[in-house]
Homo-oligomer: A and B are copies of this chain.
Amino acid sequence: MASDRHIVGQRDDPEMPRFAGIATFALLPRLEDVEHADLAVVGVPFDSGTSFRPGARFGPAHIREHSRQLHPYHQIHDVYPFRNLQGADAGDIGVGPYDIAQAVQTIQTSAQTLTSSGTRILALGGDHTIALPLLRAAAAAHGPLAVLHFDAHLDTWDVLHGATLWHGSPFRRAAEEGLLDLDHCQHVGIRGGIYGPSELEDDRRAGFEIIRSEAFQERTAADIAQQMRARLGPGPVYVSVDIDVLDPAHAPGTGTPEVAGLSTREFFTVLRLLRGLNIVGGDVVEVAPAYDHAGLTGLAAAHTAWELLTLMGLAMFQP
């Protein structure tokens, strides 16, 4: 990306208060309003893979609305994420709610269209089912991926109510399809209920190491981040964030909330220690606005996306 090309940044109009105007993510330009994006956010309002509380189809709109306060400078990394990179909001991928298999196919196709010219994308869900087609698109470009998966749940389960494609199976399917680098995947924040130890065995076979939520109680962020880096390795990484990795106190608006999760501060502290990872794609999923209050979950998801975009940008263009 040539430094002399024109970059359209986040909206910066002193006449326009942040609460004014139709919101794009972080007030970035729409994809259709820029020539090419290096890094784009795209919504995937699909929640038919949900097993408990549905509603994540309204997640992208909710996250955008709560991203109005994202400022152009990142204080911890001391960078302007979208000064040298063209960022954009690519809008939403249109998927109907009635056919999961077709939706997965459409999401994959749309994602590949976006990434085909080199754009890296961060998806806003939607439920976790969408991670599978996004992983397919990312793996098509980058080969088998290390996955850093923040979640209360394993999501390496097999079949539920007859379905192989649902929000609890994306990483199992991805492993089966060869999309994952099985030595370099990791869950962080796990604490949801399981039926027995065989699920943990299956999970290991799908390539994952587990850092449970309880680890954050007494280990330092630095220590945990070091374990992450060690596991993820130097290759291309896909970061998938189920917002229920956060404690319900911090993110009530989600479909399968689990008590005893991470605080937003614990989460962002660890995320910020991951500078240097070669993150080639990611998602922030499972925001169900009907259960949110005062925008807590919307804000948490918007900031999560912002942290990931900053890391992705740093990986693309070290300032």
A143 interface hit (Cβ, 8 Å)? no
* Listed residue (A73, A96, A100) with the most chain B CB atoms within 10 angstroms of its CB: A96
The answer to whether A257 touches B299 (Cβ under 8 A) is yes
Q: A58-B19, A61-B65, A193-B71 are in contact. Are A163 and B99 (CB under 8 A)?
A: yes
Interface residues of A in 16-35 (CB under 8 A from B): 16-24, 30
A315 interface hit (Cβ, 8 Å)? no
Question: A173 to nearest B CB, angstroms?
Answer: 14
Give which listed residue, B72, B76, B266, B295, contacts A195 with CB less than 8 A: B72
The answer to whether A266 touches B98 (Cβ under 8 A) is no
A87 interface hit (Cβ, 8 Å)? no
Complex CA–CA separation, A46 to B12 (angstroms): 19
Q: Mark A52-81, 1 if CB is under 8 A from B, else 0.
A: 111101101100110001111101101010
Q: A55-B290, A294-B257 are in contact. Are A213 and B265 (CB under 8 A)?
A: yes
The size of the chain A interface, using a CB distance under 8 A, is: 101
Residues of chain B contacted by A4 (CB below 8 angstroms):
none
Residues of chain B contacted by A55 (CB below 8 angstroms):
53-55, 290
The answer to whether A248 touches B294 (Cβ under 8 A) is yes
The answer to whether B218 touches A220 (Cβ under 8 A) is yes
